[in-house]
Amino acid sequence: MAVAGPAPGAGARPRLDLQFLQRFLQILKVLFPSWSSQNALMFLTLLCLTLLEQFVIYQVGLIPSQYYGVLGNKDLEGFKTLTFLAVMLIVLNSTLKSFDQFTCNLLYVSWRKDLTEHLHRLYFRGRAYYTLNVLRDDIDNPDQRISQDVERFCRQLSSMASKLIISPFTLVYYTYQCFQRFKHMQIRVNAEPAAFYSRHQHL
């Protein structure tokens, strides 16, 4: 029996193109079969944890500026209260980071399980396993690819999940803040013309 030659494009370098996007969307359909699935609920939980973590980080960033006022006024009670608040925020931030990592690990395990079972169903459907192991010489050791490649893909995706879902929210928030600082700067630059204009209006 003749062995089939390598498939067209075998050994080509991966590219970020339409085919990659289509395949990635097919994988997402396996990882998130429905909005009420366990994976979707864990992903939503991860989103909430990440947003809360960013809010706490923002509050921690405001603490140093508050110390200037407390120390300048020599307010001992205010210093104790602010220090207690800072410690609580730091502990809360550490706790949220731990839950964040724990949820990412749960997603990794669940994603790997679902994707591996899906590939095994395709692998043993019809004569696919025979074709891949005997008739195709462009795919080396399909069993190893199913186990190792799925493991690497799911681990990498789970490690990137929290960063990917928070990036759009962070971008929108700081874009809005930059816009507000820009408007404030325009008011300061045009303060004198605005004052003259306002005075002219009242005459």
How does pLDDT run across 100-146, given as a tens digit for each residue? 999 999 999 999 999 999 998 988 888 887 888 777 777 778 888 88
Total structural domains within the chain: 1
- Is residue 33 a part of any domain in this protein? no
- Is residue 76 a part of any domain in this protein? yes
- Is residue 137 a part of any domain in this protein? yes
Q: What are phi and psi of 89, to 5 degrees?
A: -65, -40
Number of C-alpha atoms within 13 angstroms, CB side, residue 26? 8
The domain in which residue 68 lies consists of 38-166
- Return d(Cα 97, Cα 179) in angstroms, integer: 30
- Is residue 111 a part of any domain in this protein? yes
Q: What are phi and psi of 6, to 5 degrees?
A: -65, 145
- Return d(Cα 20, Cα 15) in angstroms, integer: 7
- Is residue 179 a part of any domain in this protein? no
Give 96's pLDDT tier (boundaries 50, 70, 90): very high
- For residue 64, what are its two tokens? 């140093």
- Is residue 105 a part of any domain in this protein? yes
CA 118 vs. chain centroid, Å, equals: 25
Give me the mean pLDDT over the 75-82 stretch.
91
Cβ count within 10 A of residue 158? 21
- Is residue 178 a part of any domain in this protein? no
- Is residue 42 a part of any domain in this protein? yes
Higher pLDDT, residue 15 or 21: 21
Comparing 69-73, 111-115, 166-170, which segment has the lowest mean pLDDT? 166-170
Question: Which residue in 148, 108, 111, 139 sits closest to 27, CA to CA?
Answer: 111
